[in-house]
A and B are shown apart, each in its own frame.
Chain A
Amino acid sequence: MTLDFNHSPTIDQVGIEERVARFNTRSIKKQTKVSGLKLALNMIDLTTLEGKDTEGKVKQLCMKAMHPADDIIGLPTVAAVCVYPSYVSIAKKTLGKSGVKVASVSTAFPSGNSTREIKLSDTKFAVDNGADEIDMVISRGEFLKGNYNFVFDEIAAIKQACGKARLKVILETGELSTLDNIRKASDIAIYAGADFIKTSTGKIQPAATMPVTLVMLEAIKDYYLKTGVMIGMKPAGGISTAKQALQYLVMLYETLGPKWMSNEWFRFGASSLANDLVLQLAKEQKGVYYSKDYISID
């Protein structure tokens, strides 16, 4: 198979937006709603990526990840905690055997403007400290210049450095400007060895949107139809309500099907979403809305 990313399928923006509007008219109720809310909670990568992060903050986040709200029966843990490489070891230690994974951003996150050596050592440092997953950023400058080989090779090199850790490739769709570019970048990442493709760092607006996510899901679908290999998807940033999360799940279900409906294959990069999900689940169980003061804010 020869690969030419200049010939990635084209995207019709109007068509994409119409399809998204259709997902949003699906009515999710009762048992489906409860299992959807729980699933969404179980798919969250609880994230803290700030300059002012401390060990204490990361520890608190890990506690929240393991115990979203213990007074509500049957809540799952979140999928992972996502931190900077320097906090991987403390997160790993705090989470212990809870099953919650540790994800680390790397490759000069969020800009990605650094040398290959630094990006590789950044990745290795995180993996050596016990990261289960690596969230790398692509070099958007090189991509926009049309230097697709550079982007491809870089992803392939980082993938090698990851070893057993799963690699999520952040496209930073807010900087790619067109849906055609987003599709192209998705194809490059997938063919270069990404286990997951991810929309955004959360540092650039717009972050994840449904049209962008749909374009990426279609890239995953086309790859699966060609090869039978599943790739994961992670929209990140901008998803803060339970309603939005359910709409994403409808889109996931109707685009890729039930096989993808687990945190193996789909994640939400979000922090405030968890509490809205907890609030809605509490309402489903107790019949009334909690005051927000009942839910921990870490």
Chain B
Amino acid sequence: MHLEVQNKKLNKTMSITKGTPNTDFNWEYAPAPEAKDHAKLKKQYDLFINGEFVKPNSKKYYNTINPSNEEVLAQVAEANEKDVDLAVTAARNAYEKYWKKMPAKERAKYIFRIARVIQERSRELAVIESLNGGKPIRESRDFDIPTAANHFFYYAGWADKLEYAFPNRHPQSLGVAAQIIPWNFPLLMAAWKIAPALATGNTVVLKPAESTPLTALKLAEIIQDCDLPPGVVNIITGFGNTGAAMVKHPNVNKIAFTGSTDVGKIIQKSIAGTTKKITLELGGKAANIVFEDAPINQAVEGIINGIFFNQGHVCCAGSRLFVQEGVAEEVISKLKARMETLIVGDPLDKNTDLGAINSKEQLEKIQSFLKIGVNEGLEMYQSSCSLPKKGFFCKPTLFIGAAQSNRVVQEEIFGPVLTIQTFRTIEEVIEKANNIPYGLSAGVWTDKGSKIFNLTSKLRAGVIWANTYNKFDPTSPFGGYKESGFGREGGLHGLMPYLKF
């Protein structure tokens, strides 16, 4: 594999190879599955309202599955309008009765406690995250769960220092925050939303995505164990109409949504004319730009990490690669070779690099884009890995020779699919990178610092990574330009959307 793939042609013409290579040595990584027995799941989950799990008024439950084998993991309640009303009312009461009056440093202790318990149960949470969402255990264990805990730790620190964060501006909490989060980083997104809301003195109604509710419900258990005053955090599950009821509820003061641009637009329309504050973190189609003077081998690594991290289910994924013409051939051949070493399969195996696609609908959407790309006449390259028979999987894919006019370049695919375009001059690449409705993130690879700073001021993107990709930290704000949304999450900036001055 690897180098041989591209070097077949070379070897025929030049057989200078000295000595005899060891061809019969087989080095297959043995399966190394993470144990599941410490991940305790109930058969049925109710709604977490006012500090306890209650049956839904809708009396309806739906199945949540493991996308890597399509087995049912648990039944989850579907909240209707009445349930939403109960949750919002509970949050309102908790705000007036406890949370608003509590001294900030006491609030901080609760947030700190949540962070500690997430750390303590990190193994269980990582396994459930991978079971329910399909992401490799390596990522849930090394990235999702630790970063979620870090967000709580970080914002616990801010709770009693808001006067110093915004001196002479008298920051005050808003009230009840309705928070709707996506399925790509279920627990991490919950942490991104809940931690700053609590730190600034707001109470919360949170709805996880319908396909990945389990870690959020585990977080509800953690919040119960942490002895938060009842109603400060409410977690309800359901589909789009549950979310719509949350957005429309008159007692909600603040809406925070992460998800698709289409839904973001609907939300914005539905709250027009109200005083509700809103932050939206929506789709993206990031340009990842590789210049001739880049450290090529590390750039290749960064491209791989940029697009195949979490199966490409990342709003800031580096899905549009721009390579300067002089190094295009080298970069593409090295990308192909590197893709061969990616292991696609069981998310719970510690050696897995790419896990399962999150849902059947998402897999179908990705596959339809693959067809579109091929019909548009692009060269499609997929790694030669085999896919498990059951479950939803997609091979890592490249579209070579793409152009701005291709739909696979213009639209967000949200899967392990990378389009490759080439460019000649810096002006050309800036223009092309900005020629998209989105503006969430971008990557720049070059050895020259001045080039990096030139681009950071010209690319219309909220986050720009230089010589690295997909780096997140609680202290660093994150958010988009244009149709990628507005408002910032993380860092000091992440406090502002939850405060009035």
Q: Are A221 and B3 closer than 8 Å at their CB atoms?
A: yes
Q: Are A18 and B295 closer than 8 Å at their CB atoms?
A: no
Let me know if B273 is at the binding interface, CB within 8 A. Answer: no
Q: Are A227 and B298 closer than 8 Å at their CB atoms?
A: no
Let me know if B52 is at the binding interface, CB within 8 A. Answer: no
Which residues does chain B contribute within 8 Å of A33, judged by CB atoms?
A: 30
Q: Are A39 and B25 closer than 8 Å at their CB atoms?
A: yes
Q: Are A9 and B19 closer than 8 Å at their CB atoms?
A: no
Which residues does chain A contribute within 8 Å of B467, judged by CB atoms?
A: 12, 14-15
Main secondary structure of the interface of A (DSSP, over half): helix
Q: Are A195 and B21 closer than 8 Å at their CB atoms?
A: no
Q: Are A31 and B30 closer than 8 Å at their CB atoms?
A: yes
> Which residue of the partner chain, among A16, A249, A253, A265, contacts B21 with CB atoms under 8 Å?
A265
Are A25 and B138 also in contact (CB < 8 A) when A10-B295, A14-B468, A225-B3 are? Answer: yes
Q: Whole-angstrom distance between the alpha carbons of A229 and B138 in the complex?
A: 35
Q: Are A258 and B27 closer than 8 Å at their CB atoms?
A: yes
Let me know if B70 is at the binding interface, CB within 8 A. Answer: no
Which residues does chain B contribute within 8 Å of A222, judged by CB atoms?
A: 297
Contact with B along A224-252 (1 / 0, CB 8 A): 11011110000000000000000001000
Q: Are A11 and B295 closer than 8 Å at their CB atoms?
A: yes
Which residues does chain B contribute within 8 Å of A32, judged by CB atoms?
A: 27-30
Cβ distance B24 to chain A, nearest Cβ, rounded Å: 9
Q: Whole-angstrom distance between the alpha carbons of A229 and B1 in the complex?
A: 17
Kindly specify which of B5-13, B71-79, B185-193 makes contact with the partner chain: B5-13
Which residues does chain A contribute within 8 Å of B293, judged by CB atoms?
A: 10
Interface size on B, residues (CB 8 A): 44
Interface size on A, residues (CB 8 A): 43
Let me know if B43 is at the binding interface, CB within 8 A. Answer: no
Q: Whole-angstrom distance between the alpha carbons of A253 and B20 in the complex?
A: 17
Q: Whole-angstrom distance between the alpha carbons of A18 and B309 in the complex?
A: 14
> Which residue of the partner chain, among A18, A195, A259, contacts B22 with CB atoms under 8 Å?
A259
Are A257 and B298 also in contact (CB < 8 A) when A39-B25, A228-B17, A230-B18 are? Answer: no
Closest partner residue, chain B, to A25 (CB atom): B138
Q: Are B14 and A225 closer than 8 Å at their CB atoms?
A: no
Cβ distance A267 to chain B, nearest Cβ, rounded Å: 13
Q: Are A261 and B25 closer than 8 Å at their CB atoms?
A: yes
> Which residue of the partner chain, among A15, A18, A228, A256, contacts B11 with CB atoms under 8 Å?
A228
Let me know if B301 is at the binding interface, CB within 8 A. Answer: yes
Instruction: Spell out A's residues near B (CB within 8 Å).
Output: 9-12, 14-16, 18-19, 25-33, 35-36, 39, 195, 218, 221-222, 224-225, 227-230, 249, 253-254, 256-262, 264-265
Given contacts A10-B293, A32-B30, 18 further A-B contacts (CB under 8 A): A16-B298, A19-B301, A27-B29, A27-B30, A31-B30, A33-B30, A35-B25, A35-B26, A195-B18, A228-B10, A228-B17, A230-B18, A253-B27, A254-B2, A256-B2, A261-B27, A264-B21, A265-B19
